[in-house]
Structures are given as structure tokens and as C-alpha cells.
Amino acid sequence: MSDPTSRGAIKALGAQLDADPALRATWVARAEARGVTVAPDLPGKKLVRLVLDRAADAQVRTNPIARDEAFTCSHCARAVPLGGKRPRDHCPWCLHSRHVDVVPGDRAATCGGLLVPVALHPGDKSLDIVYRCAACGAERRNRVLDDLDMPDSPSAVRALVRAPDVTQLRD
Ligand SMILES: [Zn+2]
Ligand SMILES: [Zn+2]
């Protein structure tokens, strides 16, 4: 049986794991093979996601993929258009994003949680927004997009300078 890829299939498999201890044990073994200790009461759906995310993290791909997609912001519900010159990977108004990538553009993360902007960080040639995932706690960075037809809101970016998390950043 191949691993599920859609959210619906992950949910369905999670329910199977909850009902079938032997099947659950095979997924617990996969998680433990990747160095993760699984709590006995971890719901099946979360166990499946955890294993799939670890597998995706272990893939060798490291190059970002320039995937530019229009989307509806999960935080402020505005319709976000394509970036055009660059992939538009976060909302230009509220700066929120979604935890869908392992490597930028690959859509390999199964988390899907809201990425909350928490700080600014100077990158190599740009300014990065630092994100923390509201669902799994992962930290991500996306560059500030200030050179597109619809640039990031300067006031939203400035507000991050005063964000309390700025002193807690890891490098
Ligand atoms: Zn938004
Ligand atoms: Zn996440």
C-alpha cells in the first residue's frame, strides 16, 4: 500500500490506525525508525502526518521550486493574486502564510498549519519574514516581497520589527 498524499486519504488512514492496533504499530515503528518517540495517545491522523513529514524532510531535494499560485489568505480571507515576478508565498496584507512546503515551492509538507509572522531577519540579499507554524511549531522564512505589483504592506512589515519574538530567534 502506498502512502496517502491527500488530506482526505491521511484522515482516512488515521481513522484506520485508531481502529487497528497492529496497523498503528507499523506506523509507530516507522516513526521510531526516524528517531521519534510516539505518545500512546497520539491520534492516528497525527501519527501519519508525523511520519510523512519526516520522510519528506529526509528527501535530498534542497533547491527551491518557483511555484507561483493565487490563494485565499487563511488569516484575513483576502484573495491573494499571483506574484508574477516572484512566487507570492504569503499574504501582502497580513503577511500570514501556510505550512505547505518542506523546501520552498515543493508542497511536500502535510501539516497545512497557519504560518504566523513573528519577526524580521536580514537575509543575504533581502529581508526575511520569520514564521512560526501555529499547528506544529516549525520555523520558516520567506523573503519580504517589496518589488511586485502588489508589494507587502509596509506597515505590516514594520510592525514585525517590534514583534516580541525578535530576541528569541535561532540561527
Ligand atoms: Zn492575509
Ligand atoms: Zn506546521
Ligand nearest to the CA of 114: 2
Average pLDDT (135-141) is 92
The rounded Cα 17 to chain-centroid distance in angstroms is 24
Cell of 163: 514583534
Question: Is a pLDDT exceeding 90 seen at residue 76?
Answer: yes
Locate the domains of the chain by residue range. 7-58, 71-168
Residue with cell 533581502: 126
Amino acid, res. 54: R
Cell of 70: 493565487
pLDDT tens by residue, 6-15? 889 999 999 9
Q: What pLDDT, on a 0 to 100 scale, did the predictor assign at position 27? A: 93
Ordered alpha helix ranges (H), the chain: 7-19, 21-33, 44-58, 154-161
Number of CB atoms found within 10 A of residue 125's CB: 6
CA–centroid distance, 53 to ligand 2, in Å, is 10
User: What are 154-157's contacts with CB under 8 Å, separation 24+?
Assistant: 156/93, 156/94, 156/95, 156/117, 157/95, 157/120, 157/127, 157/129
CA–centroid distance, 102 to ligand 2, in Å, is 10
Residue with cell 501555529: 134
User: pLDDT above 90 covers what percent of the chain?
Assistant: 53
CA–centroid distance, 6 to ligand 1, in Å, is 24
**Rounded Cα gap, residues 104 and 29, in angstroms:** 29
CA–centroid distance, 83 to ligand 2, in Å, is 23
The reported pTM is 0.61
If you average pLDDT over each of 67-76, 122-131, 161-170, which comes out highest? 67-76
Question: Is a pLDDT exceeding 70 seen at residue 165?
Answer: no
Question: Is a pLDDT exceeding 80 seen at residue 29?
Answer: yes
